[in-house]
């Protein structure tokens, strides 16, 4: 059953547009997806595509402009005050940069104990201490790490503390926003293994954000691909990697050299820059960069359409079988 159901979620920010004029930047544009308990949904896209904004709005750390979020069948977008604070415990966020989620002036055990006290999850110093030690063990840190300050730990160890702090809340869902991007390659693999182990032990659901499809494929059963705030393709990760249907997904996938008819034109896309969200035209947002663009693409807005079993893409040419097949 779905733990998280996001429907038509949008987030706009007012931005200066010269002089006294203000315009609205649509960072997330009518995004819908659902996530089953204990499963992982990957969110991929280039920098600025709206991944972090989507995660913050889905977890209700930020208010969305429109749309709804159901968590365990409760509408998060309608919750306020104490009801929202109580709910927060179930939904946690881990950032790319562990330094931003750890207070440099606090010992790391104090940082991990904080949410336990805040949500009243253990009573008394001894029980809290025991729980903190248990959490450190569960993320692969020993007693020698407990009394330290963040700067006395490596980047990988700091990220493990950030995961322990998230776990302290006993959440059901964790959004992992590029959790390994700031780490060395060798440390990345170990952290991904830890996250998978924790998921199977604790039945956690993950929203796993990355610009790297290879990392997402190692973690997520399903993936949504974002471009300028919109979802342009979604489906089971293996199917999407073996047969990407949207030209933008093809560009991401073809970064890994492959011998398929669409690989060469798609590869060239990665060299172009995305247009600004503010300068979007009427038709397909990807038209300025797409090697398969036609006049119809420039005038017709694209919405997700079925391109296979449980697989959708926002490209009429792909849906109507007009692109070279994967
Ligand atoms: N608080 C804000 N005010 C104004 N614009 C914002 C704000 N937060 C994000 N944006 C804009 O929204 C768009 C999406 O940003 P977001 O950080 O969600 O992208 P992202 O996919 O997470 O990028 P990255 O991979 O670099 O982390 C960008 O154009 C960004 O400049
Ligand atoms: S609708 Fe047209 S421009 Fe957009 S991705 Fe498809 S082929 Fe390219
Ligand atoms: Mg981001």
Per the structure block, which two tokens stand in for 100?
A: 């931003």
Q: Order of strands, edge to edge, in the sheet holding 311-313?
A: 91-94, 173-177, 205-210, 40-44, 222-227, 230-236, 311-313, 305-308
Look at residue 281 and tell me whether its pLDDT is greater than 80.
no
Using one digit for the tens of pLDDT, what is the confidence trace for 146-160? 999 999 999 999 999
Contact 215, 241 (CB under 8 A): no
Q: Of 17-21, 114-118, 199-203, 216-220, which gets the smallest average pLDDT?
A: 17-21
Domain ranges of the chain: 2-90+171-319
Instruction: Count Cβ atoms below 10 Å from residue 219 Cβ, excluding itself.
Output: 21
Phi/psi for 40 (5° steps) reads -125, 130
| CA dist list (Å): 36 to 6, 39, 173, 207, 238 | 12, 5, 10, 10, 17
Using one digit for the tens of pLDDT, what is the confidence trace for 193-206? 999 999 999 999 99
Q: Choose which residue among 225, 290, 300 to substitute to test ligand 2 binding: the one with the highest number of ligand atoms within 8 A of its C-beta.
A: 290
Percent of the chain whose pLDDT exceeds 90? 78
CA of residue 14 to ligand 1 center, whole Å: 12
Look at residue 18 and tell me whether its pLDDT is greater than 80.
no
pLDDT-derived band at 103, boundaries 50, 70, 90: very high
Q: Choose which residue among 252, 262, 294 to substitute to test ligand 2 binding: the one with the highest number of ligand atoms within 8 A of its C-beta.
A: 294
Sign of CA dihedral 253, 256, 261, 266: positive
Look at residue 258 and tell me whether its pLDDT is greater than 80.
no
Percent of the chain whose pLDDT exceeds 70? 92
Instruction: Give the residue, 282 or 300, on which the prediction is more confident.
Output: 300
Q: What is the mean pLDDT of residues 52-57?
A: 97
Q: What is the pTM of this model?
A: 0.92
CA of residue 81 to ligand 2 center, whole Å: 44
278 DSSP assignment: G
Nearest protein Cα to ligand 1, atom 24: 47
- Lining residues, ligand 2, CB within 6 Å: 246-247, 284, 286-287, 290, 292-293, 297, 302, 315-317
Look at residue 26 and tell me whether its pLDDT is greater than 60.
yes
Which CATH class, in words, describes the domain spanning 2-90+171-319? alpha beta
The radius of gyration computed from the CA coordinates of the chain, to the nearest angstrom, equals: 21
Per the structure block, which two tokens stand in for 216?
A: 């997402």
């Amino acid at each position: 059953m779905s733990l998280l159901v996001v429907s038509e979620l949008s987030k706009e920010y007012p931005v200066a547009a010269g002089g006294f004029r203000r315009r609205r930047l649509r960072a997330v544009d009518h995004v819908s997806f659902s996530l089953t308990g204990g499963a992982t949904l990957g969110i991929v896209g280039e920098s600025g595509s709206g991944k972090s904004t989507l995660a913050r709005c889905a977890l209700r750390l930020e208010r969305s402009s429109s749309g709804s979020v159901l968590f365990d069948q409760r509408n998060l977008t309608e919750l306020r005050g104490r009801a929202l604070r109580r709910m927060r415990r179930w939904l946690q966020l881990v950032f790319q940069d562990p330094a931003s989620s750890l207070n440099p002036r606090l010992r790391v055990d104090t940082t991990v104990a904080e949410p336990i006290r805040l949500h009243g999850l253990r009573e008394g110093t001894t029980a809290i201490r025991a729980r903190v030690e248990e959490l450190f063990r569960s993320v692969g840190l020993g007693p020698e790490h407990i009394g330290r300050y963040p700067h006395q730990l490596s980047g990988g160890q700091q990220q493990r503390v950030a995961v322990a702090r998230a776990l302290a809340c006993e959440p059901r869902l964790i959004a992992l926003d590029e959790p390994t991007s700031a780490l060395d390659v060798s440390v990345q693999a170990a952290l991904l293994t830890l996250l998978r182990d924790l998921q199977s032990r604790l039945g956690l659901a993950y929203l796993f954000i990355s610009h790297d499809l290879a990392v997402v494929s190692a973690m997520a059963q399903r993936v949504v691909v974002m471009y300028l705030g919109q979802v342009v393709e979604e489906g089971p990760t293996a199917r999407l990697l073996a047969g990407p249907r949207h030209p933008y997904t093809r560009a991401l996938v073809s970064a890994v050299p492959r011998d398929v008819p669409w690989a060469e034109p798609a590869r060239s896309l990665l060299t172009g820059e995305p247009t600004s969200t503010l300068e979007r035209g009427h038709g397909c947002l990807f038209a300025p960069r797409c090697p398969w663009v036609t006049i119809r693409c420039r005038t017709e807005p694209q919405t997700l359409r079925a391109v296979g079993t449980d697989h959708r893409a926002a490209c009429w040419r792909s849906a109507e079988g007009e692109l070279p097949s994967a």
